Structure formats: structure tokens, C-alpha cells
Amino acid sequence: MRHTHRTEKPSRRRAPRFELVSGNAICLDFTNTLDDRFSDEPKELLKDYVDLARFAEDTGALSAGYVDRLMEKSPMTPGESRHALEAAIQLRETMNTVFWAILNKKPVPAAALYTLNGYVQAAAQHLQLAPKNKNASGAFEWRFEETPLNFEAPMWPIARSAGELLASDQLQYIHACESKTCQWLFLDTSKNHRRRWCDMTKCGNRAKAQRFYNRKRKS
């Protein structure tokens, strides 16, 4: 099952701003927008509303044209866009609480599940059936509405992704990067489900280099 609910392939008119390592679960990529979460100095990657809109663009969660309109209008209504950003961060932290409870094999806090359900239900109100292909008859798909313009739109695919992942048989494959300085979440879709790192070229290579260094010191 896919959990991205992308409306199109991610636009590359602008260089990507976010590292996407989750394996087609944008809800997990979204939890990773607080970098170095467990360090003394976590790094907030959603510093303003444009960052939130750019996440939607990088993941393809919303169409490129819709993302453009959101970014163009956000400076004109700073109160609304700021409120949407704060709500998105609440969604992110709620999902993080839920996913880490599952990872640690602990009960999911009732308050977190209640809050997440609210976001999932709100997202569902903006889903609509649309023809999947203009040239195909009888083929439809779920899409999120793009009119009227709504600053909370980037959250809808994220919340739906979380709801579907939690209700799927893929839940057992949510893993955290084994690097203690990272611990980004991802969906392990590897054949043997033994993926250890968010990205082998980054955390994986650093771990290999550290092991090599340790062996050299011992020798």
C-alpha cells in the first residue's frame, strides 16, 4: 500500500528543500522535519509557512500550481498562514508521539490518538472523487480539493497518510535510524526488513567509517 497520495510527480522547478527517506510514507518524512530531535539542540526545519508549502511540493503531496498559490498568498494573510503552520507542527508532534509509542511497544496515549483522529477527519472532509484520466472512462481516484485556497491543505495528505499507515499491515515496518544522533523514522520496505539507516549514503557511511576508525585504534 502506498501512503503518499501524491497528485503528481514532485516538481523540480526548484531544488528540493527536504530529505525524503521514509519509503513513500509522507507522514514519517514529516516527523523528520524536526532534525536532531533527541539532541540538546533540535533543528526546526519548518521555520515559516513557505517551508510547509515547500514540503508539500517536494513530496508531491499537492500540485505545483496549488503550492505556488499558497506561497504567493501567505505573506498577504500572515495570521492565517501562521496559524496553519502551528497546526501542522502540532500534527507533526502528535504523529511523532504515536509512532514512537508503537516503536517502543507502549500504549499510544489516548490524547495523542484523539488529536490525530481530529486531523484525519478534517482531511477527509476535503477529499473528492475525480476522473483518474481524462481519456479513461469509469476510472476515478481520490484527490484533495484545490479550491478554495486553504492554508491547511499541506496537512491533509500527511494526516491521511498517517491514518492509512496506522490501519495497515505495514505498521510493523516503521523503524528509526540506528544512528543515535539521527533517529529519523522510515518505513522499511526492504526485502528482509533489515534496513538500519535512514540513508546508507549518510548515516550508514558514517557508521561504517566510525567502525573502521575504532578497529584501527584497537590495532
Q: Is the omega angle on the peptide bond into residue 148 within 30 degrees of 0, that is, cis?
A: yes
Residues 162-188 have pLDDT tens digits of 999 999 999 999 999 998 889 999 999
Instruction: Using DSSP, state whether 144 is helix, strand or coil.
Output: strand
Owner of C-alpha cell 503550492: 67
Domains within the chain, CATH numbers bracketed = 26-218 (1.10.3300.10)
Is the pLDDT confidence value at 6 over 80? no
138 φ, ψ to 5°? Answer: 80, 5
Residues 69-103 have pLDDT tens digits of 999 999 999 999 999 999 999 999 999 999 999 99
% of the chain exceeding 90 in pLDDT = 68
Residue 11: name the closest of 40, 54, 52 by CA. 54
Query: Residue 58 corresponds to which amino acid?
Result: D
| 146 in Cβ contact with 127 (< 8 Å) | no
Dist. CA 97–CA 159, nearest whole Å: 14
Residue 171: C-alpha distances to residues 15, 16, 75, 165 (Å): 31, 28, 38, 6
> What burial letters (b/e) apply to 2-15, b meaning 16+ CB within 10 Å?
ebbbbbeeeeeeee
- Neighbour count for residue 172 (Cβ, 10 Å): 10
| 51 in Cβ contact with 45 (< 8 Å) | yes
